[in-house]
A and B are shown apart, each in its own frame.
Chain A
């Protein structure tokens, strides 16, 4: 009951927005802009002929590969930069310059290097999600409280134990925060990348629906689906934040 009360205002706002949208379309007699109902029927049309699943699958696969690759690179690199001062001093300035470059700016170069196939968006996802994760992991190492490192030093444990039982678990919550940011960026980027030069994916679906007959009902359906999938990806990462590997950080 309390939960329902909590989401009630949001629900009311969404309903009001849809009603306004619907009313506006009717009042202006728009020939192109669809009503909410048209968006729903359009979505069912896509579900029935199977194209929606194909596009969702393609987008998720690209994000999975690009993001997975970024995790594999960013976490060890971030740990190294956090632990070894020389590595940090050498690499950090370069990363700080590369990080603010919008992934969209990389598109021409991605096409030049990787062509118009799947490799381009995967590269773009990689380049956009790797930096936030490197930064978060490095910050994670730098913010390990000295008293814990001191205790590890006191007990004279091996390097292996130090990393496995102190450094890695201490950094893990920050890594998960970095992954959440990285995955969010990755999902933003895949749609943008697919709009340029591909034949599958939700981004492509949106551009194609417009180009092939002004199907704005499908454009809006695509946008809403992108939003919902983004939300569920973020929810998944939040669940990860609640696991025992990260929970100690937020306890008390």
Chain B
């Protein structure tokens, strides 16, 4: 295994009315190639800010992000961010969205690639639809397919399924796992849903309240497919939740 992402002593604060507000405080983290790491933390702890810095959209005040032994300074198509609100272009069709990031392909190749990924995520037959004609789940699939089409090394997922209903979210998680089993992207996932983290990740990083730091790291020692309802998984869930400050009695 090779180190893919190396986060060193990352710090960030924002200006506020009461002076600088520290949001990320000394976060260090290493992600191996092909690894799936979930970041969980209380809401408002600075998870998204941390992710923005790792993906290159935001410059840290101190510290560095090294990807493939190169200092990360700005975003590029080797690491695609999928966010909660989504960024599928509403004025383009599904096919045009999927073709959007394919630079340096011949037009006919772009079409072929777009069609292949539409097929993989189950969007076949919807290529000519506009986003407003799609359901929330379809929209997420479009976003995922658009990201996968450029063959990124890393997927950055910021609460990608949290706007969906529980059933759709579960379905998309399973589909994501199937895709990752074939294409082995390194994946960084932000979530507040501990069960989702246990379902998907190889390691779970618990972040502290703001200013956020790495509080504890839990390896997830289960193979895929996983039973999140299993006894061991539930024990892990209780341990993570109590790490997040939720009492055993509250979990039930």
Q: List chain A positions with a Cβ less than 8 A from chain B.
A: 147-148, 150-151, 153-158, 161, 165-166, 169-170, 172, 244-245, 248-249, 251-252
- The answer to whether A157 and B103 touch across the interface, beta carbons within 8 angstroms, is yes
B57-81 to A contact mask, C-beta < 8 Å, 1/0: 1000000000000000001110111
Instruction: Give min CB distance, A201 to chain B, whole Å.
Output: 39
- The answer to whether B92 and A154 touch across the interface, beta carbons within 8 angstroms, is no
- The answer to whether B57 and A150 touch across the interface, beta carbons within 8 angstroms, is yes
- In the bound complex, what is the Cα–Cα distance between A160 and B75 (angstroms)? 19
- Interface residue stretch chosen among B12-20, B22-30, B83-91, B204-212: B83-91
- The answer to whether B150 and A155 touch across the interface, beta carbons within 8 angstroms, is yes
Q: Does B218 contact A (CB under 8 A)?
A: no
Instruction: Give min CB distance, A166 to chain B, whole Å.
Output: 7
- The answer to whether B91 and A151 touch across the interface, beta carbons within 8 angstroms, is no
- The answer to whether A154 and B75 touch across the interface, beta carbons within 8 angstroms, is yes
B130 is contacted by which of A148, A172, A248 (Cβ under 8 Å)? A248
- In the bound complex, what is the Cα–Cα distance between A151 and B75 (angstroms)? 10
How big is the B interface, by class? 20 to 34
Residues of A within 8 A of B57 (CB): 150, 153-154
A245 is contacted by which of B75, B87, B91, B103 (Cβ under 8 Å)? B91
- In the bound complex, what is the Cα–Cα distance between A155 and B90 (angstroms)? 17
Residues of A within 8 A of B75 (CB): 150, 153-154, 156
- The answer to whether A150 and B87 touch across the interface, beta carbons within 8 angstroms, is yes
Instruction: Give min CB distance, A183 to chain B, whole Å.
Output: 23
Could you jot down 24 A-B contacts, CB within 8 Å? A147-B83, A147-B87, A151-B81, A151-B89, A154-B57, A154-B75, A155-B80, A155-B101, A156-B75, A156-B101, A156-B103, A157-B103, A158-B103, A165-B100, A169-B91, A170-B91, A172-B91, A245-B91, A248-B90, A248-B91, A248-B130, A248-B132, A251-B90, A252-B132
Residues of B within 8 A of A155 (CB): 77, 80, 100-101, 103, 150
Q: List chain B positions with a Cβ less than 8 A from chain A.
A: 55, 57, 75-77, 79-81, 83, 85-87, 89-92, 96, 100-101, 103, 130-133, 150
B89 is contacted by which of A153, A165, A245 (Cβ under 8 Å)? A165
- In the bound complex, what is the Cα–Cα distance between A156 and B56 (angstroms)? 12
Residues of A within 8 A of B150 (CB): 155
Q: Is the interface of B mostly helix, strand, loop or mixed?
A: loop
CB-based closest 3 A-B pairs: A155-B101, A251-B132, A151-B87
Residues of B within 8 A of A154 (CB): 55, 57, 75-77, 79-81, 101
Residues of B within 8 A of A251 (CB): 90, 130, 132-133
Instruction: Give min CB distance, A214 to chain B, whole Å.
Output: 55
- The answer to whether B101 and A157 touch across the interface, beta carbons within 8 angstroms, is yes
Residues of B within 8 A of A153 (CB): 57, 75
Residues of A within 8 A of B131 (CB): 248
- The answer to whether A166 and B101 touch across the interface, beta carbons within 8 angstroms, is no
- In the bound complex, what is the Cα–Cα distance between A43 and B62 (angstroms)? 79
- In the bound complex, what is the Cα–Cα distance between A76 and B141 (angstroms)? 35
B81 is contacted by which of A150, A157, A244 (Cβ under 8 Å)? A150
Residues of A within 8 A of B96 (CB): 165
Residues of A within 8 A of B87 (CB): 147-148, 150-151
Residues of A within 8 A of B80 (CB): 154-155
